[in-house]
Structure 1
Amino acid sequence: MTRANVTRRLAHAVDSAATKHPELKTKQISPHVIRHSTAMCLLQSGSDPCEIALWLGHESPSTTHMYVEADLAMKERALARLKQPEVEQARYRPSKGLLDFLRSL
């Protein structure tokens, strides 16, 4: 199947779906958008970026890293996994011996 054929078939599918979902008529839907959206869904569901790279046919995961960007929800989940440090923050106070040594330099 050629790229042009894929684009035509997708346009036909969007036209058919727009009868029930008219908001699709205002969207720019292309094979690239479908590909990117699928890759993002795979990433958000926890798939390994290396697996996504294979699925997309990329030669290396670094290509996928540039292609699949983390969205805001993923960033929020990553921040939510962080824990507050269990130690109280305190100002460092050097010992008298260390201060005497530094003064002697």
Structure 2
Amino acid sequence: MLKRILATIVLAVGIAAVAAPAASADPVYYLPGPVDATDSFVGVLDPAAYGSRSDASLLISPYGTSQPIRCSWARGQSFCSQTDLWGNHVTLNRLFFVPGSATYMDRPVYVFTP
């Protein structure tokens, strides 16, 4: 009798495990993007970079802001790239300045690095 009860329980659990739908959670994306961030940048040679656009990130690039810039963010860091004339995404490296030095800048500066 006990064997029959255990066999019935095992059979019920097995059927439930096979018949139950698989968990289908949406994938978690930590990087929102890449998104178009061209409006967040201004070229260093643009006069507005030191006036009306002084809140935008500085960009040192042969294309200025004429080519699209795409950025992704993860864990407080940004990863940006600029599309060149041939459609390749070239990394923009951010320059970091040491706080307390004479060259300290709180404004982000990105450099086009082919």
TM-score, normalised relative to structure 1: 0.22
* Higher normalized strand content (fraction of residues): 2
Larger RCO of the pair (alpha carbons < 8 Å, separation 6+): 2
Instruction: Report which of the two has the higher share of helix.
Output: 1
